[in-house]
Amino acid sequence: MAGPDDPKYHCRAIDGIAELTRSNIPMTESPFPLEPTAAEAQAAIADEFALFGDWSERYQYLIDLGRKLPDLPDALKTDDFRLHGCQSNVWISGEGDAQRLDFRAISDSAIVSGLIYLALRVYSGRSAAEILATEPDYIAAIGLAKHLSPTRSNGLAALLGFIRERAAATQG
């Protein structure tokens, strides 16, 4: 991780357009990545969700995962960092370069926070190339697409789009 004197770049979502901006808000310790590769993260997610017999248990697990997200500083819970396209409030920040991009995000919705946790588990702490090469197969593998409302599906698509845009931006 970069030292305190290194410039930090955070992603800001402003009117649906993401841009890199310099910030003095340090990246807190992130729990991600948990697995060495995005593919292994997706496989682990599928294995974990397979342990649950029905969707009420899976939703509870999503809520529990969302509670594991580190909180964001209040300075990042502003419109500048709000992810547009979500019905719930979602704030996201990212920093890094093509070799490693770290994301942090949070929502005021328990289930959406769980969706964020899954996305960050797959993509945060990875190289831009790995992010761009990794389709979110975990969504179909756990049957998530069939069990999300249209507004949550749109929000998840916005989150994944934001992550991919940041990765593409680093490859210039």
Q: Please tell me the distance from the alpha carbon of residue 91 to that of residue 106, in angstroms, as a whole number.
A: 6
- Summarize pLDDT for 16-28 with one digit per residue, the tens: 333 333 344 444 4
- Please report the pLDDT score of residue 57 as a whole number: 95
Distance from the Cα of residue 48 to its chain's centroid: 18
Per the annotation, the verdict on 11 as an active-site residue is: no
Question: DSSP letter at 142?
Answer: T
Helix %, strand %, coil % of the chain (to 5): 45, 20, 35
Mean pLDDT of the chain: 84
pLDDT at 6: 31
Domains of the chain, each with CATH number or no CATH: 8-170 (3.90.1010.10)
Please report the beta strands in the chain, taking only residues with DSSP state E, as ranges in sequence order: 8-14, 17-23, 90-97, 100-107
Contacts of 120 (CB under 8 A, 6+ apart): 30, 32, 69, 103, 104, 105
- Among candidate residues 83, 86, 111, 131, the one labeled active-site is 86
What are the average pLDDT values for consecutive 10-residue runs of the chain, which has 172 residues? 32 34 46 93 97 94 95 92 90 95 96 97 98 97 92 94 97 80
Query: Please, what sign has the CA dihedral across residues 32, 67, 117, 39?
Result: positive
